[in-house]
Structure 1
Amino acid sequence: MAARINPSILTADFANLERELGRIATADLVHVDVMDNHFVPNLTFGPRMVESLQRVSPLPLDVHLMIDDPDRWAPGYAEVGAFSVTFHAEAAADPVTLARRLRSLGARAGIAVKPGTAIEPYLELLPEFDQVLVMTVEPGFGGQSFIESTMPKLALLREAVSGSGLDVWLQVDGGINERTIVTAAEAGADTFVAGSSVFNAGEPAEQIALLRAAASGHVH
């Protein structure tokens, strides 16, 4: 199975985002990190910016909400056309109701967990989600180092997804490069967010191909 590569525009040139999107057109989706300076200590995009990106992006948008009160705000991102909307388990009051709302608006529903959050409470809820994002760094900033101790969570998720026959994508985000993508794929990930390693490369398209090739032989 081919690995999905979703470059994060967190490390792109914000002054030239349309051009930057064109440089990653060979990827699978564009990962958009929405941060509110409350849930994480950083501030990035909001709904209007995502709507603008939606108009010019050659690829579907994979929106990752690192925000407080996603129960209130997440549906707005589905309404502007995001392909996938992922919110944090630690921030949502009612993850299942929110996931169902996102699906009803036509988006894939994703749930994310920080490195220190246990995955076991969410395993029985997997049918409610289209994607589970295991953060492999503390959310908030790009360029951090991969936390390998998050891999057992991925292995549990892969076992649960494979055993149930569900079509749930298992995504990792943080510190993904040619080496760590293999580690994550072997643990069970099939969808990979890469920011610095793509946008800091001379040729992003070549780096995307390199990452995809490195992971694809190990994806379950």
Structure 2
Amino acid sequence: MVKIAPSILSADFANLERDIQRIETADYVHVDVMDGMFVPNITIGIPVVASIRKVTKMPLDVHLMIVEPVRYVERFCDAGADLVTVHVEADTEENIHAAIAKIHAKGKRAGVVLKPKTPAEAVLPFLKEVELVLVMTVEPGFGGQKFMADMMPKVAAIRTWIETENPACELEVDGGVAPDTCKTCIDAGANVLVAGSAVYKAADIPARIAELRG
């Protein structure tokens, strides 16, 4: 079954507990952490993740768009993240391996993320170690961007490698996922879809989540 991870970047932060409860038919709560350096925007940090943990039993899928994530992954795990993903572009290969090891040492799931301009091959050094690979289908940093269909060959290539090297690994896409693009992602091999505005702007959120499953 295709999993849906609504991004709270599109939620009402003044009513975040309410808006998390509204997505309870989904599979993950996707939490976008941006530092203003790796990406130009700044969003939320460790205290907010800890607050979210207190109000939901849903798994927290924490996407770190920060430089040198190895510095912070343990604290995000301690705050309640169930899955922590780090960008391969955010540090040296050695430090990305170290970040993955720290996440696993905390008993949590780890993933790596690729920006649109990063080639699919960048996942290969990490593929056997992670529980999830995330392919960005927009430039990270802001919600509401247009879906990049030209990322689908990258998704398909990574799906092929996953089937060979690490069949239990999930393949997630993030950016511009909506009713008119979800099937394209699924057909390319994605089994986890991040959607922000497509979910939170829907008149019927549970119906929209069901629709995105394809």
After TM superposition, is the score higher than 0.5?
yes
Q: Tell me the distance in 1 between the aligned counterparts of 2:58 and 2:69.
A: 24
Match of 2:195 in 1: 194
1:58 CA drift (Å):
3.6
Q: Say whether 1:48 aligns with 2:47.
A: yes
TM-score, length-scaled by structure 2: 0.96
Residue pair 1:114, 1:134 contacting (<8 A) in 2 also? yes
Q: Say whether 1:24 aligns with 2:53.
A: no
Match of 1:166 in 2: 167
Q: Say whether 1:127 aligns with 2:147.
A: no
Residue pair 1:171, 1:193 contacting (<8 A) in 2 also? yes
Match of 1:74 in 2: 73
> Which residue identity is paired with 1:57?
T
> Which residue identity is paired with 2:196?
G
TM-score, length-scaled by structure 1: 0.93
Q: Say whether 1:97 aligns with 2:70.
A: no
Question: Which structure 2 segments of 5+ residues have no match?
Answer: none
Residue pair 1:88, 1:111 contacting (<8 A) in 2 also? yes
Identity among equivalent positions (%) equals 48
Q: Tell me the distance in 2 between the aligned counterparts of 1:199 and 1:77.
A: 25
Residue pair 2:128, 2:166 contacting (<8 A) in 1 also? no
1:79 CA drift (Å):
1.6
Match of 2:150 in 1: 149
Report the count of equivalent residues: 212
1:210 CA drift (Å):
1.0
Question: Which structure 1 segments of 5+ residues have no match?
Answer: 215-220
- Three-state SS of the structure 2 residue aligned to 1:166 is coil
1:165 CA drift (Å):
4.7
Residue pair 2:73, 2:102 contacting (<8 A) in 1 also? no
Q: Say whether 1:87 aligns with 2:86.
A: yes
Residue pair 2:112, 2:123 contacting (<8 A) in 1 also? no
Match of 1:218 in 2: none
Q: Tell me the distance in 1 between the aligned counterparts of 2:19 and 2:183.
A: 26
Q: Tell me the distance in 1 between the aligned counterparts of 2:153 and 2:59.
A: 30
- Three-state SS of the structure 2 residue aligned to 1:19 is helix
Q: Tell me the distance in 1 between the aligned counterparts of 2:10 and 2:126.
A: 33
Q: 1:152 to 1:21 in 2, by over 3 A?
A: same
1:122 CA drift (Å):
2.2
Map Cα deviations across residues 169-190 of structure 1 (whole Å, 9 max, x no partner).
1000000011211111111100
